[in-house]
Structure 1
Amino acid sequence: MYTLLGGDGRPYRSAVPGRYGGHRRSRIYGRLDCRCALRALGRGGYRRHRVFFATERDALVAGYRPCAVCLPERYAAWKARRP
């Protein structure tokens, strides 16, 4: 079983792993193969605040923003919508 965050920001159990990873403190989500996230995980300080989402929609509704490195187009669209 895997623990994912839903759009309401609450964790739930899933038999299927998440497709996106996020960082609880910075409220950023991205692909699981993101080079920045993998580098941070390699240093060890990031793991404690790691969360997972089944969909991008869940991440966005939960208040996370797209990663500028691994999701640059989605990040640009997110940034353009900000006031």
Structure 2
Amino acid sequence: SFNKLKSFFTIEPVLIIFNSFYIIIIEIDSSGYIIREVLSQFNNKRILQLYIYFLKKNLFTEYNYKIYNKKLLAVI
């Protein structure tokens, strides 16, 4: 299993360089106590690759925000 994991990190590049000409997909999950954002981008082989992953715990005052305010908080 270690060799399989090792191959994932050595065969294909894990990080990609942002290219504004490729399609970008933004996913936001702001339910509960955390805000999670994932920005992915299709590469030239049309495979979706992770570009940015962001995770933030909400402050105590932000727990009671309405869902649309939490999504706006995630955008900021």
Same fold (TM over 0.5): no
TM-score, normalisation: structure 2: 0.24
Higher relative contact order by CA 8 Å / sep ≥ 6: 1 or 2? 1
TM-score, normalisation: structure 1: 0.23
Question: Higher helix fraction: Structure 1 or Structure 2?
Answer: 1
